[in-house]
Amino acid sequence: MFTFAAPVHVHAQEADPMPKTALVIHGGAGYVARESLSVQDEQDARADLNRALDAGHQVLAAGGSALDAVQAAVRVLEESPRFNAGKGAVFNADGGHELDASIMEGHTRRAGAVAGVTTVRSPITLARAVMEHSPHVMLAAQGAEAFADTRPEIERVPNDWFDTDKRRQQLDAAKRKEQAARSAGTDAADEPGKYFGTVGAVALDRHGHIAAATSTGGMTNKKWGRVGDAPIIGAGTWADRQCGVSGTGWGEFYIRNAVAHDICARVAYRGDSLGDAAEEVVNRIVTAAGGDGGAIALDVDGNIAMPFNSGTMYRGWIHPDGSRGVAIFED
């Protein structure tokens, strides 16, 4: 007796290959001179990027969601003192820390964000809790802290837990520069490269769903509860059915130009390739307006774009074919 079940089954498998997954992360854009980064510092940064890739990829490889993957990757970067998020957050003008984060799921357009939190160890975890356990998208400052009080799974720490010597030195340098400008009767003007930092991730899962997440400590010496683009949906973070973006750079310009959304809108409405859309927005529109920075972007086909114009962007990627890498400088 002959059966055609096996040949048909094999043919079906060949026609329906394993769905693709992909992941891209960043640890912030800015300018870091090669000679200022020691061999050990570079090795440590690359190791942290690889740990974040491993955390996100483990979720995706097990069939998990893009949302879980970006949270897992960003959580690793928040725990590192080498990036401006979580443990490595910069100091504000008062000598404290105010942290921001956002997360978005593309196929549902669900999103959550927090701004100006001071005792939350993982702002990205709180942002997801806002998305899943509140009727709101963004909570800020004392309100976000009060919401965190209602969620026993949110780990809390004293504000000085975020202190690091490196960030203290950066604050001292910023204050000296500010004082020198004041003494000279000039403005301590903002400048390109000053707003470096931030971490983020964008993932594509085997269901074809995209999610994006971003977390930051903001800018050194920030005043008046300043909030940048990272927690603003459409500015620093965006995901839809076709595309996801996490930005890093001079936040005011990312807000004014709705950078994350604009990249994906060009893909959706004009049919631009992901690479062309990201390049146009980050390296032409933002720079023409006077800003700088970078972004990571991923589309539903697994294409990845990582444009930046700041000289440096800590980044890592895993393509659908499994190839991976991390990089810091332009090469």
The set of catalytic residues is: 198
Residue 298 is encoded by which pair of tokens? Answer: 């991923």
Report how far apart the first and last C-alpha atoms of the chain are (Å, whole number).
62
User: Is the backbone of residue 28 left (phi > 0), alpha (psi -120 to 50) or beta?
Assistant: left
Which residues in the chain belong to E strands, given as ranges? Answer: 22-30, 99-105, 110-117, 138-140, 199-204, 210-216, 237-239, 243-249, 293-299, 304-305, 312-318, 324-329
CA distances for 27 relative to 82, 100, 223, angstroms: 9, 15, 23
| Alpha carbon distance 108, 129 (integer Å) | 16
CA dihedral sign, ordered 251, 257, 262, 263: negative
| Alpha carbon distance 179, 162 (integer Å) | 25
What's phi and psi for 2, nearest 5 deg? -105, 150
> Which residues fall within 8 angstroms of residue 264, CB to CB, at 6 or more apart?
238, 239, 240, 242, 243, 244, 245, 277, 297
| Alpha carbon distance 105, 208 (integer Å) | 12
| Alpha carbon distance 296, 147 (integer Å) | 30
Residue 249 is encoded by which pair of tokens? Answer: 């750079």
83 neighbors 199 (Cβ within 8 angstroms): yes
Give, for 44, the enclosing helix (H) or strand (E): helix 39-61
78 neighbors 122 (Cβ within 8 angstroms): yes
